Amino acid sequence: VLLEAHHVKELIIQRSRTLKDLSAEFAGVQIFSHLLAATLRQHKTYQWIMETLRENQILYKWGFPIRMIILRNKATSMVHSAEEGNRLLQQWNLQPKSTKTGPLLDHTTTAPT
């Protein structure tokens, strides 16, 4: 469902963050912000960074405009580009465990599956 009314969408998203246990019929429901196609394309340039963070149980979220907010060892890092994210992961000696994506992959095309 695409919610056009901004204030309604924001209320639903805020409320979803505070919900704990939902009944079984709603257990699989996920709520996402509506993002422009250009924003989604730019998020894809961070794909291997997101995978590496998830594989290492490092929390992150998206900020506005396009930036990644990473919480590691009780410290917050802001990443404003995929290149900056690559450098940060190198400083932390983190490499992706999977080989589907990596820092040298051309992120303008879809990674092979």
**How much of the chain exceeds pLDDT 70, in percent?**
71
Same domain membership, residue 41 and residue 29 = no
Residue 39 vs residues 3, 20, 35, 46, 47: alpha-carbon distances, Å: 18, 29, 6, 11, 13
Same domain membership, residue 39 and residue 17 = no
* pLDDT bracket for residue 7 (50, 70, 90): confident
What's 41's domain CATH number? 3.30.250.20
How many structural domains comprise the chain? 2
Same domain membership, residue 107 and residue 63 = yes
Q: Which one is predicted more confidently, 74 or 21?
A: 74
Three-state secondary-structure class, residue 51: helix
pLDDT of residue 3: 67
Same domain membership, residue 91 and residue 60 = yes
Residues 59-110 have pLDDT tens digits of 998 887 788 999 999 999 999 998 999 999 999 999 866 555 444 443 333 3
Same domain membership, residue 52 and residue 107 = yes
Q: Which domain holds residue 11?
A: 1-34
Cα Rg of the chain, angstroms = 16
What lies within 8 Å, CB to CB, of 33 at 6+ separation is 9, 13
In this prediction the pTM is: 0.55
Same domain membership, residue 106 and residue 55 = yes
Same domain membership, residue 91 and residue 57 = yes
Residues 9-18 have pLDDT tens digits of 778 777 777 7
